[in-house]
Amino acid sequence: MLFGIVPAGDPRTAAEALHELQLLAGTAEFQVAGCMVQHRRQPDPHSYMGTGKLDELADVVKLARCSAVICDDSLTPNQARNIEEAVDVPVIDRSELILQIFSMHARTPQAKLQVELAALEYEMPRLKRKWSHLERQRGGIGVRGGAGEKQIDVDRHLLRQRISSITKDLKRIEAHKEREVSARPDLFTVALVGYTNAGKSSMMNRLTSAGVLAENKLFSTLDTRTRPWRLSGGRTILLTDTVGFIRKLPHQLVASFHATLQEALNADLLLVLVDGSSPEATEQLRTVHEVLDQLGSGDLPRLTVVNKLDLVKDRSMLHGIYQMDPRAVAVSVHSGEGIEQLLASMQEHLASVENRVEILLPHRAGGLRAEIRAKATVLSEFFTEAGCLMEIQASPALLGRLLAEGASLADPSDRPQPEA
């Protein structure tokens, strides 16, 4: 049974208000029996829902023979304990549910470590609730604490040790990622970011033929993947697929997945994907921007890509997204509609941030031509007695290295003079 709080006056039904929670529960392989919401300004600090609504939830749970209840918010240990006492079945909050899904989908050692770290940090303040049955054994003159209190101290010590060990391992992984990214060739890098299930993996497959997993499930991708994306004209840039974001994403996960998102934070451009067919598309886009700002990527250039255009029945519904980003590009990865416009927008962005120069490659440095074609946009090229004269559009880093390896900025005298 799903339950949650919605603002007073919210016209949505319980099923509509908890639609995303239903998707999360289904992804975690729960069978949803029903939904219940209470309209109030803010949750009760002790029991989340009001006493009467909590009694109603308990009655429905018994009637439907539910084995658990799932809350749409993160609960304090005190709230979770009081709800569990009222409904007499285990209580799972939104953070715990998302952690379960991440644990199911973690494949690489790095992802498993990140999920474990987030789970341990979530568990730490909730230990007292787990050992409350032993605390009832306390008592007697001079007895300061019972078995429950002693066991909590032992568990806290073990958790702190494990958290410290995982944190050190992840710092080593993050340092390795930084070295890996900095050691890459001078290729322009684009990161796909966005709400979970917005179609990032499908987009990567279409643009790069990467063959990565693309499922219609929340959080099907947890690990970062980077593939070469060949643009028209032969130039190659790097495209990175990242873990999806979601509303009310547990802060433990945002922190622990910093290493995974390292490549996105080092990208030259963020393509922010949003599911245009979702009635909550504008809110989802706002959530993505908030998480990106949390991660410290507020200064990175972003381009909004509205995906699943083939499922949008009324395109006027996209007005809110265009208000947030007038340069947004609408596409359908499934049908291919809008992909050419996306490529054109990419070329425009490259032209706006890169240097457009003429360089002369002496014959002895002719081996650089292939590299220039792969890493820069070649606008024109012809041969002279002095070497190959090329007009290119390249990043400052690449241009600096080319000049260091034998190329030179062209002089007007390098251009061949027209015959009389």
For residue 307, the cross-strand partners are 275
In the numeric block, which tokens belong to residue 240?
Answer: 């990175």
Every domain of the chain and the residues it spans: 2-92, 106-138+146-180, 186-351, 354-414
| pLDDT tens for the chain, residues 1 to 420 | 999 999 888 888 888 889 989 989 998 899 999 999 999 989 999 999 999 999 999 999 999 999 999 999 999 989 999 999 999 999 999 989 988 888 887 777 877 888 888 888 888 877 755 544 444 443 443 334 444 456 777 888 888 999 999 989 988 887 877 776 666 667 888 999 888 888 888 898 888 876 655 555 566 666 678 888 888 777 888 898 887 788 887 766 776 666 566 667 778 899 999 999 988 899 999 988 988 887 777 788 999 999 999 999 888 889 999 999 999 999 999 999 999 999 889 889 988 999 999 999 988 888 888 889 888 999 988 888 888 999 999 988 888 889 988 888 887 666 665 554
Q: Given this model, what pLDDT does residue 221 score? A: 60
Work out whether the CA dihedral 338, 344, 347, 353 comes out positive or negative.
negative
Rounded Cα–Cα distance for residues 342 and 365 (Å): 35
pTM of this prediction exceeds 0.85: no
Q: What are phi and psi of 153, to 5 degrees?
A: -60, -45
Beta strands 377-384 and 189-194 are unpaired
> In 3D, which of 55, 65, 131 has the Cα closest to residue 86?
55
Q: Given this model, what pLDDT does residue 21 score? A: 93
Work out whether the CA dihedral 347, 348, 351, 353 comes out positive or negative.
negative
Beta carbons of 79 and 91 less than 8 angstroms apart: no
* CATH topology identical between 2-92 and 186-351: yes
Fold topology of 186-351: Rossmann fold (3.40.50)
Q: Given this model, what pLDDT does residue 146 score? A: 46
Q: Given this model, what pLDDT does residue 68 score? A: 95
Work out whether the CA dihedral 228, 231, 235, 237 comes out positive or negative.
negative
Work out whether the CA dihedral 163, 165, 171, 177 comes out positive or negative.
negative
Rounded Cα–Cα distance for residues 56 and 81 (Å): 17
Q: Given this model, what pLDDT does residue 411 score? A: 79
CA 39 distance to own-chain centroid: 31
Work out whether the CA dihedral 393, 397, 400, 405 comes out positive or negative.
negative
Neighbours of 378 (CB within 10 A): 17
The CATH number that domain 354-414 falls under is 3.30.70
Fold topology of 2-92: Rossmann fold (3.40.50)
Beta strands 377-384 and 387-394 are antiparallel
Rounded Cα–Cα distance for residues 245 and 400 (Å): 37
